[in-house]
Each structure stands twice: as C-alpha cells, then as structure tokens.
Amino acid sequence: MDVVIILTINGLATGLLLFMMAAGLSVIFGLMGIMNFAHGAFFMLGSYASTWTYLKTGNFALAMLAGTAVGTFIGFLTERSILRPVYGKPLAQILITLGAFIVLNEMVKAVWGPNVIPSPVPPLLEGEFRVGGVLVSRYRIFIIFFGVSTAATVQWLLNRTRLGMIVRAGVENAEMIQILGVNIRRVFAAVFLLGTALASLGGTMIGPTLGQIGPFVSTQYLLLGFIVVVIGGLGSLIGSLVAGVLVGLMNNYVVWLYPPAAMPLNIILMSLILLVKPTGLFGKEGAH
C-alpha cells in the first residue's frame, strides 16, 4: 500500500508537468492550427536556463522566473521570425518547426555542452513529509500544488477574460473574429507566447525531479506531450489536464513494474482511445 501511495503522488507530479507541456501545444493548435514541433525545445530551454541560474545564485524562485523568461523570449523570436510567414501553410509549418527544434537543440549543446548537468532540489523543498507511515517527497507535493494552481489560472484566463473570450471564439471561427475587427495576428502571438511560457515553466521544474538535465529532455517530453494532447483532445485545456494525469500515473506504475514497457503502453493507450473516440477524450467534433 505504501508503494501505491508513493507511485500515485509521483505520477500526479509527472502528470502535471506533462500538462504544462501539453496545454501549450493544445491551445496553440486549437487556435492557430499549428502542430509546433519546436515546443519541446522551449521546455528544454526552461530547464537549462533555470538550472544554470539556480547553480549560479542558489535562488530557486529566481531560477524559475529566468527559465520561463528565456523560453518565452525564444518563443517570441520564433513566432515573429519564422512562423508568421507560414501561417496557413501546414506543411511549411511542420518543416520549419522541426528545423527550429533541431537548431535550438544544437544551440543548447553549444552553450551548455552535450553532457548531462546536475540539477539539485532546493534545500527548502528537500526531504519528505510523513503521511501516516509513508514518506512523501516535499518537491513532488510542491509540483502538484503548483501545477494545479497553474491549471486553475490558465482556465480562468481562457474563460473569464476578454483575451480568453477572443481565443475561444477564434478556435470556433478565426475568420469571423477578424471580420469583427480583432487583430487575429496579435491574438495568435499572445496564444503562442502563453503556450511557450507554460512549456518553459514546466521545464524549470523537471531538472530537480530527475536530478539532472540533458538534451534528451526535449525529445522525451515532446513525445509525451503529443500523446497527452491527442488523448485529451486538441484545443481542450481540461483534456490536457486529465490526459496528463492519466499518462503520468500509468507511466509511474509501469516504470516501477517494467520500465521498457512504459512508452509502448502510452502509445497503445493513445491508440485505444482514438479507436473509441477519434477526437480524444474532450475533443470536439469538427475541431482541427
């Protein structure tokens, strides 16, 4: 029973990190129709920038802020320089975001090197809580609370603000929103920045979870992010949250039992859900 509790808490923490990666992918695709293959690089940039900042300053809050800022800024440059010219051109978007993913990965290797870098847990979040007879990681609990707070904030932003109203309307009919006088390009830019900020923020917390970071972070978590988006349903924030938790829990249980089966079972789960509901758990019929 103790093992089940620990695996469940670890799975929830993993799932909420996957949510932050997948939510940006889902919202960007829902409004912009862009399957952004460079998204994993923003996650990686957040992890590297935050780890480097923490090792230099010892301030974890500052490190999270720096990692999020770096990833979001690179996302801003990416949207302005290479994505704007190919809006409405799906094949070009796929090729150019794949190219950006490769370039950003190589840039990270050039700046920080190809080897893994240790990423310690900050002293304030070290150790465990004792819940009954079970020791629960303080850092994992922090991730769970922070992830839930982030999900609630983004849900409020998309459902209770003018920007959120425009985004939701744009998902349904971007052309009509533009006819009504809304600068859809600015909305696209804001959504893209929100997505990259969420990915970068998730990246700032992955290092202490793994104890180290390396170039593998971008590819591994991009693939899991796409699985979460497909399972949850394109354009659905709630779907990304539910699917992230589902994949996180299954991943931790399977890794404990037989690690090589973790990724294949995630893909099998995605395939089964698509067979039953092709739009994903919370996807809408007729969505992108």
pLDDT digits (tens, 9 = 90+) for 6-53: 888 889 999 999 998 888 888 777 666 777 888 889 999 999 999 999
115-148 pLDDT, tens digit per residue, is: 999 999 999 898 887 766 778 889 999 999 999 9
Whether residue 288 lies inside any domain: the answer is: no
pLDDT of residue 145: 93
Buried b (16+ CB within 10 A) or exposed e, 173-206: ebeebeeeeeebeebbbebbbbbbbbbbbbbbbb
Range of the domain at 251: 2-276
**Token digits of residue 112:** 């920080």
pLDDT of residue 222: 86
Whether residue 161 lies inside any domain: the answer is: yes
Buried b (16+ CB within 10 A) or exposed e, 9-26: bbbbbbbbbbbbbbbbbb
CATH number reported for the structural domain that contains residue 245 in this entry: 1.10.3470
Whether residue 285 lies inside any domain: the answer is: no
pLDDT of residue 218: 85
194-214 pLDDT, tens digit per residue, is: 889 999 999 999 999 989 999
Whether residue 281 lies inside any domain: the answer is: no
Give the integer Cα–Cα distance in Å for 255 and 160.
39
The end-to-end CA distance of the chain, in Å, is: 43
pTM of this structure: 0.88
Give the integer Cα–Cα distance in Å for 120 and 117.
10
Whether residue 15 lies inside any domain: the answer is: yes
Question: Average pLDDT for residues 182-200, to the nearest whole number?
Answer: 84
Whether residue 287 lies inside any domain: the answer is: no
pLDDT of residue 255: 85
In contact, 82 and 100? CB cutoff 8 Å: yes
Domain count, the chain: 1
**Token digits of residue 237:** 């924030």
The helix/strand/coil state of 130 is strand
Whether residue 46 lies inside any domain: the answer is: yes
> Exposed, middle or buried: residue 161 (CB in 10 Å: 0-12, 13-18, 19+)?
exposed
Whether residue 282 lies inside any domain: the answer is: no
In contact, 50 and 59? CB cutoff 8 Å: no
Buried b (16+ CB within 10 A) or exposed e, 127-138: eeeeeeeeeebb
